[in-house]
A and B are shown apart, each in its own frame.
Chain A
Amino acid sequence: MDGIDAKILMELMADAQISFLEISQKIGLSRETVRKRFEKMKKEGTIKLMSILIDGHKIGDQGAAFLMLTCTRGADKEAIFQRLQILTGVCLVTQLRGEFDFFVWARVINMEQLSKLLNGIREQKEIDRIEPMLLHQTYFTFSLIPKVAIKCDNMDLPKRT
């Protein structure tokens, strides 16, 4: 990981679909060098995922929810972690150290699906507390220096500040 890798990453953060040619022109290196560096970072796991942001409202979602969960003492957290991942609508699950044990990011397709999801979580006896938080505005950045702000409710186009 050096300055050149960082520069390439910054360009990819701004637009993951940018062509190698464009990156090479922006940072003054050959297209082949950029491609090789990119492949290396992907292989080594520096770049974990390149994805698209979708306006959930356009495909029918009503919003998103963050769920904070705590487990009973002595619960099998690994097993709970595995079971949480497969619930419909769950996009992200992380185990935590702190007040809560799990953080779940879920799509809210409609209220019925949200209830189903919450029930699915409640069915797991080892989870003793759920704090659901419905989002009405989100700002995504996913970069080192936050640059892209996107509103969740009206989903403004990404703005560079």
Chain B
Amino acid sequence: MGLGNNCEYEQGNKVRKVDNLDIKILQILSADARESLKNIAEKCGVTPVAALKRIKRLKKDGVIVGTYLIINNEAFGNPYEATILVDASNTVENSIKNSIRQLSNVVVCAECVGRYNLCALIIDHDIDSLNGTVSKIRNFKGVNNVSVNIWTENRHMDFARDLAVMGKT
């Protein structure tokens, strides 16, 4: 595993080095957050007690900040997913961001630097509802331009693969 030799973070007044065991555990849990302790320990070549201790530390230190579920949205009758890009005036960017976040079908809303300054991922159950959400965003004061891009079934997701590629070397 190509781990940078200097990746560390400050926790309180201690400096913690991220080691191979940390990365291995993060990769296993990213692939399946419910993986059993026994299996994790086996894959990492440590005892279950050692693995549990490390997982607890990763959580306590805030390396693992939470869990998430990706579900088949169609099971809930929500087949429309879209990336909405918003170009808004800087002066009202914050209030627009908050208004977008209040919309119930917004999954992710991010402030960004680039051609657009806000990006939202939304899920809607039909095209009319999606249209309604987009109209609401268009009508927020200070919104100059909105780009709507609907996701197709062609999608790939893997948040764990490159975890071992570290930045600070």
CB-contact partner of A138 in B33, B108, B151, B166, under 8 A: B108
Shortest Cβ distance from B150 into A: residue: A97
Are B66 and A52 neighbours in the complex by a CB distance under 8 Å? yes
The answer, yes or no, to whether B4 is at the interface (CB within 8 Å) is yes
CB interface residues, A 71-130, toward B, < 8 Å: 77-78, 81, 84-85, 88-100, 103, 107, 109-110, 113
Is the contact region of chain A dominated by helix, strand, or loop, or is it mixed? mixed
From A52, A81, A89, A133, residue with most partner B Cβ within 10 Å: A52
Contact A9:B69 (CB < 8 A) given known A46-B75, A99-B147: yes
The answer, yes or no, to whether B90 is at the interface (CB within 8 Å) is no
CB-contact partner of B108 in A94, A95, A141, under 8 A: A141
A23–chain B nearest beta-carbon distance, Å: 12
From B22, B69, B85, B149, residue with most partner A Cβ within 10 Å: B69
The answer, yes or no, to whether B26 is at the interface (CB within 8 Å) is yes
The answer, yes or no, to whether B152 is at the interface (CB within 8 Å) is yes
Interface range, A side: 35 or more
CB interface residues, B 3-54, toward A, < 8 Å: 4, 7, 9, 18, 22-23, 26, 29-34
The answer, yes or no, to whether B61 is at the interface (CB within 8 Å) is yes
Are B167 and A113 neighbours in the complex by a CB distance under 8 Å? yes
The answer, yes or no, to whether B64 is at the interface (CB within 8 Å) is yes
Are B33 and A52 neighbours in the complex by a CB distance under 8 Å? yes
The answer, yes or no, to whether A47 is at the interface (CB within 8 Å) is yes
Residues of B with C-beta under 8 A to A141: 106-108
Residues of B with C-beta under 8 A to A36: none
The answer, yes or no, to whether B67 is at the interface (CB within 8 Å) is yes
Please, how many angstroms separate the alpha-carbon atoms of A13 and B166 in the complex? Answer: 29
Residues of B with C-beta under 8 A to A109: 165-167
Shortest Cβ distance from A109 into B: residue: B167
B127–chain A nearest beta-carbon distance, Å: 12
From B148, B159, B168, residue with most partner A Cβ within 10 Å: B159
Contact A88:B76 (CB < 8 A) given known A51-B31, A60-B4, A81-B156: no
Residues of B with C-beta under 8 A to A60: 4, 7, 18, 166-168
Residues of A with C-beta under 8 A to B159: 51, 54, 91-92
Please, how many angstroms separate the alpha-carbon atoms of A58 and B17 in the complex? Answer: 10
Are B149 and A68 neighbours in the complex by a CB distance under 8 Å? yes
Interface string of A117-161 (1 = CB under 8 A from B): 000000000000001111111111111111011101001011000
Are A139 and B101 neighbours in the complex by a CB distance under 8 Å? yes
Shortest Cβ distance from A131 into B: residue: B115
B25–chain A nearest beta-carbon distance, Å: 10
| 5 extra A-B contacts, CB within 8 A, seeds A16-B34, A90-B162, A110-B167 | A51-B159, A52-B66, A54-B163, A98-B82, A139-B109
Can you sample 18 A-B contacts with CB below 8 Å? A16-B34, A17-B34, A51-B30, A58-B63, A60-B168, A66-B119, A92-B156, A95-B152, A95-B155, A96-B151, A103-B151, A113-B165, A133-B116, A138-B109, A143-B107, A146-B104, A148-B66, A155-B62
